[in-house]
Amino acid sequence: MGYTDQRFNVNLSILFTELPLLERPAAAAAAGFTAVELWWPWIETPTPDRRELDALKKALDDAGTQLVGLNFYAGQLPGPDRGALSVPGEESERFRANIEVAADFAASVDCKALNALYGNRVDGVDPAVQDELALENLVLAARAADRIGAILLIEALNKPESPRYPLVSAPAAVAVVDKVNAATGLGNAKFLLDLYHLSMNGEDLPEVIENYTAKTGHVQIADNPGRGAPGTGDLDLEGLLDRLRKAGYEGWVGLEYKAGDRPSAESFEWLPRSQRAAN
């Protein structure tokens, strides 16, 4: 099984970044992919002008690419900021302002997964206060996702690269998933299982797959070390994806790796072109 029985999509916020945003869907299509995902593209604002939203929709439509995952506003990403929803004050207010904007855009392109990054710990603020705020905002996000028939994704990052982010293990992220589902009764909060981040945390990846596949709504991959394409590091990504499939996962696998010094289009040699288009 391995790579041959997966549905792959390309994250256009980490690949094809040598191109302007509106050119990336066509570049992904030219490389053979029909599905893509994005971090929130407008890092400076949670509420971009309608014309910018329409232009991105047109670029996706014109390229024939399906948006299968979208982050809510998460601050300066990539960068030191990781999420906004648990940060008191302006950042959490910006997240709330973004909720319906992101959900409405997702609905306009039939995107069925919205990812909410938790947010860093803040000096001088009780972590319990941040966690309470996070749950309030995640409940709002889950309800917005439910309104458009989508799931809400909650992701674990890795401690070496995001030392102030509190969800740095699969159990920690899944515990939040369970809290959100208990608070809403909707059951649409799911775990985003990123094999690169979990490997950076030193987790037992086969054990994570065994324990949490049933609660997983999306998977992302990059090799480790280096966060490069499969085959550039030491992870048995093909074997791990095979385990996921056998455990019952049938969803998307997002390619969230760095192309390195070469053009992004040259970083897919590990995946035959015939396997890039979604079935």
Q: Is 44 a catalytic residue?
A: no
Find out whether 132 and 125 touch, Cβ atoms under 8 Å: no
Q: How far apart are the first and last CA of the chain?
A: 15
Question: From the candidates 37, 91, 155, 203, which is the catalytic residue?
Answer: 155
Rounded CA-CA distance 180/184 in Å is 6
Chain-centroid distance of CA 264 in Å reads 19
DSSP 17-63: TTS-GGGHHHHHHHTT--EEEES-S-TT-SS--HHHHHHHHHHHHHH
Longest Cα–Cα distance of the chain, Å, equals: 53
Q: Is 52 a catalytic residue?
A: no
Question: From the candidates 37, 91, 203, 256, which is the catalytic residue?
Answer: 256
Rounded CA-CA distance 7/127 in Å is 38
Rounded CA-CA distance 177/95 in Å is 18
> Which residues are known to be catalytic?
155, 256
